[in-house]
Structure 1
Amino acid sequence: MRKWWLALLVLAALPAPSQAKQQVWKFDRLDRIGGLATQVIGEPRVEGGATVFDGRDDAIYLPRHPLAGAGAFTVEAVFRPDGGAFEQRWLHLASDDPVNQTRMLFEIRVVGNSWYLDSFIKGQGYSQVLIDPSKLHPVGRWYHVAQTFDGTTYRSYVDGVLEGEANVAGFTPQGAGNTSVGVRYNRVNFFHGAVRVARFTDRALPPDRFLRKE
């Protein structure tokens, strides 16, 4: 009995598992997103709780890289691609470091009335793209997309279904920086469609813990 009680005391003294840190950005207004003041380019508009981008000159900039310092992560978003140019970047997390300019991003490639996902991470000593042109999805619909990294394997998903994965060696946490939404950070490859919400977690979440699309 004494050993049993000692074991309980040891377990009680152990620190509780750390909770995942999350940031949720809802795109239901233009002036502030995720508690951050925005820089708005062009004339994006809010419709039905989402921000709509025209694919020509609309974008939003936010003064934070929400996954700076994370050794593992999940980036999720609910978005609607509406066709347009072949190459469109709609979420770009960039560090401020002029020597080691790291980034995480989502792009799409549009082919006729369909699109396919392009997920990418880059930093000092690593660079990995996940893209499969054979995995086409119709434009004009809402989708949940995610990319995760568990410290070893980088994965991408559309509506909870795995689209690609690769081992990434030498990953180091990215530095503080900024985010562009609706465009590549240097204001090219504008996005035509809408973004409803994005969530950033400093853990690799399984699909059953992803955001709900609706």
Structure 2
Amino acid sequence: MLRRQIIQITLPLALTFKIRGSQAQSSFKEWIFDNDNEVSDYKIHRSGSPVIISTFLGDATWFNGKNDGYFMTIHPLAGAKKFTIEALIRPDGGNFEQRWLHLESQDDLSAPPGLSDTRILYEIRVIGSYWYPDAFIHGAGYRQALRQPDRLWPTGQWHHVAQTYDGSTYRSYVNGTLQCLADVAFTPQGAGRCAVGVRLNKVNFFHGAIRSVRFSRYASDPSQFALLKHLRG
């Protein structure tokens, strides 16, 4: 097993969660945040006190929007030329600007986290009892946000979100419905680290629950979204 350097943040506790999919050569990785303590190759370090809750989807992690977050020393899409990120999330309102997923390329893990120019973000914007997604990719020669503020979704409910890149076009979806798209000259990102429920430098905390996140090294059509079927039953 490869030795991985521990992220340089004050992290009070390490947990393990179920991770489906094989190692670096797998076409997908699925992270299920149910805290059943199965052995995995990636330790999750905890900030704050995220809570495991029971839902109709299965157990999930709830983040308080103040100081809860998970941190891992892996960029699950490092080297991918195409990708799909899917997740089952339940935004519960709170601050306008929230980041629930932050992937960052960083060769030097002793460098301050969250400041790399090469990153993939998944964010939300909250307006009263509604929200909309904000997907973002940034690297050498490209920078693109996908957001549609006039397409709002209710808080307090479970939703499937996805962002995809097929080699030329970057797309954002909610519950299988296209929100917006843009042509991007994306290039593969390198190894690094990630945060769930917060930005890597511990700002813009997410208020809500996350059941699972799936990373695929190909661009899925909405009919192929693996996690959406769980929401639709």
TM range (shorter): 0.7 to 0.9
| Structure 1 residue aligned with 2:216 | 201
What's the CA shift for 1:62?
A: 1.2
The change in CA–CA distance for 1:146 and 1:88 in structure 2 (over 3 A counts) is same
What's the CA shift for 1:105?
A: 1.1
Percent identity reads 53
Output the CA distance in 2 between the equivalents of 1:145 and 1:156: 8
- Secondary structure (helix, strand or coil) at the match of 2:223 reads helix
Deviation digits for residues 53-98 of structure 1, max 9, x if unmatched? 0000000001110000000000010000000000000011111147
- The answer (yes or no) to whether the contact 1:30–1:38 under 8 Å persists in 2 is no
Deviation digits for residues 189-208 of structure 1, max 9, x if unmatched? 00000000000000001001
TM-score between the two structures when normalised by the length of structure 1: 0.87
Question: How many positions carry a matched residue from both structures?
Answer: 195
What's the CA shift for 1:51?
A: 0.3
| Structure 1 residue aligned with 2:128 | 112
| Structure 2 residue aligned with 1:175 | 190
1:157 aligns with 2:167: no
| Structure 1 residue aligned with 2:164 | 148
- Secondary structure (helix, strand or coil) at the match of 2:189 reads coil
Q: Which moved more, 1:29-38 or 1:173-182?
A: 29-38
Output the CA distance in 2 between the equivalents of 1:205 and 1:88: 25
CA RMSD between the two structures: 1.9
The change in CA–CA distance for 1:150 and 1:161 in structure 2 (over 3 A counts) is same
- The answer (yes or no) to whether the contact 1:100–1:124 under 8 Å persists in 2 is no
| Structure 2 residue aligned with 1:28 | 34
Output the CA distance in 2 between the equivalents of 1:130 and 1:30: 34
Matched residue type, 1:53: F
Q: 1:42-81 maps to which residues of 2 (within 5 A)?
A: 42-48=48-54, 49-81=59-91
Q: 1:84-103 maps to which residues of 2 (within 5 A)?
A: 84-97=94-107, 101-103=117-119
- The answer (yes or no) to whether the contact 1:95–1:176 under 8 Å persists in 2 is yes
- The answer (yes or no) to whether the contact 2:132–2:149 under 8 Å persists in 1 is yes
Output the CA distance in 2 between the equivalents of 1:174 and 1:79: 25
- The answer (yes or no) to whether the contact 2:104–2:116 under 8 Å persists in 1 is no
| Structure 2 residue aligned with 1:9 | none
What's the CA shift for 1:213?
A: 3.6
- The answer (yes or no) to whether the contact 1:31–1:38 under 8 Å persists in 2 is no
The change in CA–CA distance for 1:33 and 1:123 in structure 2 (over 3 A counts) is farther
Output the CA distance in 1 between the equivalents of 2:83 and 2:35: 26
What's the CA shift for 1:101?
A: 3.1
Deviation digits for residues 137-176 of structure 1, max 9, x if unmatched? 010000000000001000000000000100002x210000
What's the CA shift for 1:45?
A: 1.0
1:129 aligns with 2:129: no
Output the CA distance in 1 between the equivalents of 2:83 and 2:195: 18
- The answer (yes or no) to whether the contact 1:25–1:33 under 8 Å persists in 2 is no
- The answer (yes or no) to whether the contact 2:85–2:162 under 8 Å persists in 1 is yes
| Structure 2 residue aligned with 1:10 | none
Output the CA distance in 1 between the equivalents of 2:38 and 2:99: 21
Which structure's CA Rg is the greater one? 1
| Structure 1 residue aligned with 2:21 | none
Output the CA distance in 2 between the equivalents of 1:90 and 1:179: 10
Deviation digits for residues 94-118 of structure 1, max 9, x if unmatched? 1114796311111000000000110
Q: 1:10-25 maps to which residues of 2 (within 5 A)?
A: 21-25=27-31
- Secondary structure (helix, strand or coil) at the match of 1:208 reads helix
